[in-house]
Amino acid sequence: MWLIPAIVLPRRGRRERVHGDEDGELLARLRAGDERAFTALVARHNASMMRLACSFVSSRAVAEEVVQDTWLGVLRGLDGFAERAAFRTWLLRILVNRARSTGVRERRSVAIGDAGPVVDQARFDSSGAWMSPPEHWVEDSDDRLLAQGLTTELHAALEGLPARQREVVMLRDVDGLSGLEVCEVLEISEANQRVLLHRGRSHLRQVLEDELGGV
């Protein structure tokens, strides 16, 4: 029997709702044989797909093949796609399945927890209170932070995360998927999703502190 844990469902972001509506419209046009609708869907989703594919396979060329294969799968599966499901979730699920079945990189189900605290223990005293507190860096304007060439650093830090953390952080924070969508796409539990998200985001925060703190 399935036990359904009492969880708070993540709220759907505005970005997602807009996404859903436009996808629905494009799908209708695609079904009616409009090639431009296909091009538009590609333009909307291909970047997320490439990023996700790249974290499963070892080369960009293979990632491109996986993505192309996914689009073909989408076209062929169009009739069977139930409209009530989110198109993007469905699309990314297909992608993950294809990427995994290419078997280019063996992905074992370890390292979810990666153990260890997310903030260096040396920064706390024996009672667990901050000894070396976070250095201030947040400003009123994100634009000003980004103008300092931060994008490159942050991008590199994201790329450098362990694959599973990277996948979750990219899907959540770059692509704007909800926690539930990410669980569906990657076939992981809510708890694992949160652990991976926590570790990934915490690492990125540290990178930003190192980069910007104490100015």
Partner 1 sequence: MSVFFSRDPLVCQEVVELVTDYLEGALSRSQRRRLEAHLAGCEHCTEYLEQMRATIRLTGRLRVEDLTAEMQQELTAIYRRWRAEEEQ
Q: How far apart are CA 158 and CA 166, in angstroms?
A: 6
Range in contact with partner 1 (rule: CB under 8 A) among 81-89, 90-98, 107-115, 123-131: 123-131
Tokens in use for 164? 């599973």
Q: Is residue 31 part of the contact set for partner 1 (CB under 8 A)?
A: no
Which residue number, 107 or 194, has a Cβ lying nearer to partner 1? Answer: 194
Which residue number, 24 or 77, has a Cβ lying nearer to partner 1? Answer: 77
Q: Are 204 and 151 in contact (CB under 8 A)?
A: no
Cβ 47 to partner 1, closest distance in Å?
Answer: 5
Q: How far apart are CA 45 and CA 185, in angstroms?
A: 14
Q: Is residue 51 part of the contact set for partner 1 (CB under 8 A)?
A: yes
Which residue number, 108 or 121, has a Cβ lying nearer to partner 1? Answer: 121
Question: Which residue in the set 12, 22, 64, 104 belongs to the binding site for partner 1 (CB under 8 A)?
Answer: 64
The residue behind tokens 């009616």 is: 32
Cβ 126 to partner 1, closest distance in Å?
Answer: 10
Q: Is residue 129 part of the contact set for partner 1 (CB under 8 A)?
A: yes
Q: How far apart are CA 194 and CA 189, in angstroms?
A: 9
Total interface residues for partner 1 by CB under 8 A: 58
Among candidate residues 186, 210, 200, the one with its CA nearest the CA of residue 137: 210
Q: Is residue 72 part of the contact set for partner 1 (CB under 8 A)?
A: yes
Q: How far apart are CA 70 and CA 90, in angstroms?
A: 11
Q: Is residue 144 part of the contact set for partner 1 (CB under 8 A)?
A: no
Give the 3-state secondary structure of residue 112: coil
